[in-house]
């Protein structure tokens, strides 16, 4: 009788080369994604006078520092330098680069799945914390630091302590206007930004199964914001249909063989998890963040919390500090919070479905504030243009930009000016995340569109009435 296993356990076992005396496992890496920020990893490899061990399993994409304003012009020589470093580093090590001028360019966590590089059953690593995104296909996807990047480049392996397993079950059916982002932020609000620390999270339940592949990518993207090592969704027909026909995905008989293997991956029905969390999808409202941590999430009809109601003086002081930074007053209604600009983009919410959701709200309406729309990849950008979504954004008064990480962290120069408030589809509302002094409110693409139309944080649902 074999022990029942989780999805995570099964993939882990298939990749475990050995377990050392110290209890750590050496794992095989199927895909290593690299971006401009990986230069420190290259520096470490070069310091050893070595070369990448498996350039055929390593894929580089320019995303963090590329210009995303229309026209793609570098605004600072230092950004261009970092992008050029990636060109030089990948060339020297024989690694494929989807660079600035490549039609497949985009954000690494959008491009990997889109190109069929990320597949169920793989172990995927990248020197970026949002790597968990790829787990949405039923892979183990782990964000790593620069030293680990160099280790993977040199050995195609990495060391990990086996994490605990957490299952987050979202049963029931979400209401209209509720997106994967609302589910993900509601989970973080419930368990906190370290609620899943030391755990690999599997998202399960009817509401998760009902999500499209794009929605699952958004959900797993935010696993790191709950502190998880990784987030994943069991592969199913939705996954297989998504993978089929993508450029780097298996084809023909090889695909059939792969699907047969992938069908064995879902957690056994009697598999045990170290921690169980459950949410009722029908209770999830459209949410926004008010503070400087993703756990500072509330339904849009709520009010800003009051530090005076917090017992711990240090916590109250920290909450007051967050309100001061955000320019908010305790007990102020969230729908009274005016915004200065909006941003639709990032590895969290810039796939075609996200752009469609925002466009459905903005169609025939005007935004009261300026904003940038940056598609998650150049492929998504072209698809959106074929569907006429770009015209909807432009007619609403927003800027239709190019693909990259853009205003999510602003290191390409696209920042939110100091003191300005931005309704954003991104993943982090940390102080200064979108630029020094920038104030970020996280929400779904539909909710960002609603904030644009109203000029303040707003419930998207009334704007959807009479629209599909």
Partner 1 sequence: MDQFKMQPFTRLDGIAVSLRRDNVDTDQVIPARYLKVPRSEGLGDTLFRDLRFDQNGKARPDFPLNDPARKGASVIIARHNFGVGSSREPAVYALVDYGIRCVVATSFGDIFAGNAVNNGLVAAIVTTEDVEKLLSAVEQTGRAEVDLGEQTIKSGNYVVPFSIDPARKVRLLNGWDELDLTARYKSQIEAFAAKDRAVRPWAVPAG
Q: For partner 1, which is the closer residue by CB, 84 or 169?
A: 84
Q: How far apart are CA 440 and CA 187, in angstroms?
A: 19
Question: Which DSSP state fits 268?
Answer: P
φ, ψ of residue 121 in degrees (nearest 5)? 80, 0
- Please, what is the minimum distance in Å from the beta carbon of residue 60 to partner 1? 14
Measured at the CA of 282, the angle between CA 354 and CA 166, to 5 degrees, comes to: 80
Q: How far apart are CA 449 and CA 453, in angstroms?
A: 6
Which helix (DSSP H) or strand (DSSP E) does residue 164 occupy? strand 164-171
Q: For partner 1, which is the closer residue by CB, 243 or 358?
A: 243
Sign of the dihedral defined by the CA atoms of residues 99, 101, 104, 105, in that order: positive
φ, ψ of residue 230 in degrees (nearest 5)? -160, 165
Q: For partner 1, which is the closer residue by CB, 159 or 272?
A: 159
Q: How far apart are CA 348 and CA 425, in angstroms?
A: 7
Alpha-carbon dihedral 165, 171, 176, 180, rounded to 10 degrees: 10
Q: For partner 1, which is the closer residue by CB, 152 or 284?
A: 152
- Please, what is the minimum distance in Å from the beta carbon of residue 47 to partner 1? 5
Q: Which three-class secondary structure state does DSSP give residue 324?
A: helix
Measured at the CA of 97, the angle between CA 95 and CA 100, to 5 degrees, comes to: 160
- Please, what is the minimum distance in Å from the beta carbon of residue 329 to partner 1? 22
- Please, what is the minimum distance in Å from the beta carbon of residue 411 to partner 1? 5
Question: Would you tell me the crossing angle of helices 352-362 and 378-386 to the nearest 10 degrees?
Answer: 40
Q: For partner 1, which is the closer residue by CB, 143 or 177?
A: 143
- Please, what is the minimum distance in Å from the beta carbon of residue 309 to partner 1? 17
- Please, what is the minimum distance in Å from the beta carbon of residue 437 to partner 1? 7
- Please, what is the minimum distance in Å from the beta carbon of residue 245 to partner 1? 11
Alpha helices, DSSP H, located in 54-107? 77-93
Q: For partner 1, which is the closer residue by CB, 248 or 299?
A: 248
- Please, what is the minimum distance in Å from the beta carbon of residue 468 to partner 1? 36
Helix count and strand count (H, E) for the chain: 16, 19
Question: Would you tell me the crossing angle of helices 389-396 and 352-362 to the nearest 10 degrees?
Answer: 50
Q: For partner 1, which is the closer residue by CB, 259 or 285?
A: 259
108, 63 Cβ separation under 8 angstroms:
yes
Q: For partner 1, which is the closer residue by CB, 149 or 446?
A: 149
How many Cβ atoms from other residues are within 10 Å of residue 190's Cβ? 15
Alpha-carbon dihedral 228, 220, 189, 360, rounded to 10 degrees: 160
- Please, what is the minimum distance in Å from the beta carbon of residue 41 to partner 1? 9
Q: Which three-class secondary structure state does DSSP give residue 377?
A: strand
Most distant CA pair in the chain: distance in Å? 64
Alpha helices, DSSP H, located in 98-251? 108-114, 146-155, 180-191, 206-209, 213-221, 237-243
- Please, what is the minimum distance in Å from the beta carbon of residue 38 to partner 1? 10
- Please, what is the minimum distance in Å from the beta carbon of residue 334 to partner 1? 21
Q: For partner 1, which is the closer residue by CB, 85 or 363?
A: 85
Q: Which three-class secondary structure state does DSSP give residue 438?
A: coil
Q: For partner 1, which is the closer residue by CB, 186 or 434?
A: 434
Q: For partner 1, which is the closer residue by CB, 229 or 381?
A: 229
């Amino acid at each position: 009788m074999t022990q029942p296993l989780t999805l995570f356990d099964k993939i882990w076992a298939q990749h475990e080369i050995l377990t050392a005396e110290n209890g750590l496992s050496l794992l095989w890496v199927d895909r290593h994604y690299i971006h401009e920020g990986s230069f420190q990893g290259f520096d470490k490899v070069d310091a050893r006078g070595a070369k990448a061990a498996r350039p055929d399993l390593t894929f580089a994409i320019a995303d963090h520092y590329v210009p995303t304003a229309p026209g793609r012009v570098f605004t600072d020589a230092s950004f261009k330098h970092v992008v050029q470093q990636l060109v030089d580093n990948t060339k020297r090590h024989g690694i494929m680069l989807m660079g600035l001028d490549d039609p497949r360019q985009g954000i690494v966590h959008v491009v990997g799945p889109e190109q069929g590089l990320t597949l169920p059953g793989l172990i995927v690593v990248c020197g970026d914390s949002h790597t968990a995104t790829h787990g949405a296909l039923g892979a183990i996807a782990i964000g790593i630091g620069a030293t680990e990047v160099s280790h993977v480049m040199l050995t195609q392996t990495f060391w990990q302590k086996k994490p605990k397993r957490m299952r987050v079950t979202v049963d029931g059916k979400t209401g209209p206007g509720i997106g994967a982002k609302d589910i993900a932020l509601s989970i973080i609000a419930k368990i906190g930004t370290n609620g899943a620390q030391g755990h690999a999270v599997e998202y399960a339940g009817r509401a998760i199964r009902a999500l499209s592949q794009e929605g699952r990518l958004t959900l797993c993207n935010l696993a790191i914001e709950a502190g998880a090592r990784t987030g994943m969704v069991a592969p199913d027909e939705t996954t297989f249909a998504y993978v089929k026909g993508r450029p780097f995905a298996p084809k023909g008989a090889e695909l059939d063989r792969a699907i047969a293997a992938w069908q064995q991956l879902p957690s056994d029905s009697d598999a045990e998890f170290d921690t169980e969390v459950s949410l009722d999808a029908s209770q999830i409202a459209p949410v926004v963040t008010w503070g400087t941590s993703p756990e500072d999430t509330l339904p849009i009809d709520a009010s800003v919390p009051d530090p005076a109601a917090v017992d711990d003086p240090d916590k109250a002081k920290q909450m007051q500090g967050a309100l001061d930074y955000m320019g908010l007053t305790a007990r102020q209604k969230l729908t009274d919070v005016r915004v200065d600009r909006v941003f639709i983009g990032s590895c969290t919410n810039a796939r075609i479905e996200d752009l469609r959701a925002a466009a459905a709200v903005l169609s025939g309406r005007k935004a009261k504030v300026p904003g940038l729309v940056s598609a998650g990849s150049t492929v998504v950008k072209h698809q959106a243009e074929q569907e006429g979504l770009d015209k909807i954004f432009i007619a609403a008064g927003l800027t239709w930009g190019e693909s990259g990480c853009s205003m999510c962290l602003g290191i390409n120069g696209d920042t939110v000016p100091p003191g300005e408030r931005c309704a954003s589809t991104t993943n982090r509302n940390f102080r200064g995340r979108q630029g020094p002094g920038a104030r970020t409110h996280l929400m779904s693409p539909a909710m960002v569109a609603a904030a644009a139309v109203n000029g303040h944080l707003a419930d998207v649902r009334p704007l959807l009435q009479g629209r599909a």
